[in-house]
């Protein structure tokens, strides 16, 4: 791997995992958005949280950062839920699983793909936040009168991604296999894959219809058309990258070619800027 590529990969990793102590969470407010009957999206700082409330108790999908736990619990209570009984992690990153230990210590049962537990342990996080129930391929929950499929996809954002499908509500939480409206983060250090991201999106599209609602890992609440548009752009970019790679271009040369320029203004304004995205995609496609 070229030295410049290593620098940009390290920068991307740091942006995803900025030390919690270096961040100010005091002004963060948790916004609650209705998705379907007794299903909500909570927006704060970090990955979007899914919330199901009902007779079995409050269940959340992802936990954002640890300092936000009290605010998240308050939002759950305000939505009509009680203490959180169940946590599902879509993957292991700190902006999605940083609050795990707080909820685990409070009595919540944590579920995730087996690789999430492995990576949390390797990252020396608090064992109280490790999943107590894990699976290799898929699992099904019957919770709050919902049939909920936990679908592990092949490496996409990471190697431990779970897509959560609320079958009877026609709704999904896709975690970071979907960054609505912006370039995705392909965590190659966690075995992430550009092709895997596209495959995960196609899988959800195949299970969706015009009435489907989708909670992305980041970005606004979405529908099938939003996901189709995003995946379509990624497919176009991927084809262009592959053509240049086949011609023998280096990562620096692919960056200089400006393959993504027509979308940079709308999709490249977040932490995953066009150059960082290009370098991660290049590494994924050439490993």
- The predicted pLDDT at position 22 comes to 65
Domain span at residue 232 reads 3-286
pLDDT tens per residue, range 140-199: 999 999 999 999 999 999 999 999 999 999 999 999 999 999 999 999 999 999 999 999
What's the confidence (pLDDT) of residue 179? 98
Structurally, the chain folds into a number of domains equal to: 1
Instruction: Compute the radius of gyration of the chain from its Cα atoms.
Output: 18
User: Higher confidence at residue 14 or residue 67?
Assistant: 67
- Per-residue pLDDT band for 272 (boundaries 50, 70, 90) equals very high
Q: What are phi and psi of 21, to 5 degrees?
A: -65, -20
Distance of alpha carbon 120 from alpha carbon 97, whole angstroms:
9
Give me the residues paired with residue 147 across strands. 142
- We report the CATH number of the domain holding residue 93 as 3.60.15.10
SS3 223: strand
Of 287, 174, 170, 152, residue with least CA distance to 230 = 174
Give residue 271's pLDDT.
81
pLDDT of residue 20: 66
Q: Which band of pLDDT confidence, cut at 50, 70 and 90, is reported for residue 6?
A: very low
Kindly indicate the confidence band of residue 19, based on its pLDDT and cuts at 50, 70 and 90.
low
**Pairing, β 39-43 against β 49-52:** antiparallel
On the question of pLDDT at 23 being above 60, the answer is yes
Q: Tell me the per-residue pLDDT of 80-125, one tens digit each, with 9 for 90 and over.
A: 999 999 999 999 999 999 999 999 999 999 999 999 999 999 999 9
**0.85 surpassed by pTM:** yes
pLDDT in tens, 45-69: 999 999 999 999 999 999 999 999 9
Check residues 103 and 13 and name the one with the higher pLDDT: 103
SS3 139: strand
Instruction: Say if residue 17's pLDDT is above 60.
Output: no
Mean pLDDT, the chain, rounded, equals 93
């Amino acid at each position: 791997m070229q030295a410049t590529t290593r620098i940009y990969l390290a920068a991307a990793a740091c942006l995803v995992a900025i030390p919690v102590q270096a961040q100010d969470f005091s002004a963060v407010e948790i916004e609650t958005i209705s998705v379907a009957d007794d299903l909500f999206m909570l927006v704060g700082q970090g990955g979007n949280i899914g919330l199901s409330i009902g007779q079995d108790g409050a269940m959340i999908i992802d936990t954002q950062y640890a300092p936000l736990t009290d605010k998240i619990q308050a939002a759950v209570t305000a939505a009509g839920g009680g203490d959180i009984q169940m946590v599902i992690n879509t993957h292991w990153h700190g902006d999605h699983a940083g609050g795990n230990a707080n909820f685990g210590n409070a009595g919540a049962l944590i579920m995730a793909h087996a690789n999430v537990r492995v990576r949390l342990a390797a990252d020396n996080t608090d064992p109280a936040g490790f999943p107590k129930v894990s699976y290799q391929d898929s699992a099904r929950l019957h919770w709050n009168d919902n049939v909920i499929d936990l679908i592990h996809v092949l490496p996409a954002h990471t190697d431990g991604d779970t897509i959560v499908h609320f079958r009877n509500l026609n709704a999904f939480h896709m975690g970071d296999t979907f960054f609505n409206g912006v370039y995705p983060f392909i965590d190659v250090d966690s075995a992430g894959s550009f092709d895997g991201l596209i495959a995960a999106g196609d899988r959800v599209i195949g299970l969706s219809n015009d009435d489907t609602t989708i909670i992305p890992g980041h970005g606004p609440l979405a529908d099938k058309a939003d996901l189709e548009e995003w995946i379509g752009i990624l497919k176009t970019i991927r084809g262009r990258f592959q053509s240049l790679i086949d011609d023998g271009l280096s990562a620096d040369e692919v960056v200089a070619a400006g393959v993504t320029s027509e979308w940079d203004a709308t999709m490249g304004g977040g932490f995953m800027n066009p150059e960082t995205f290009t370098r991660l995609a290049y590494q994924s496609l050439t490993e």
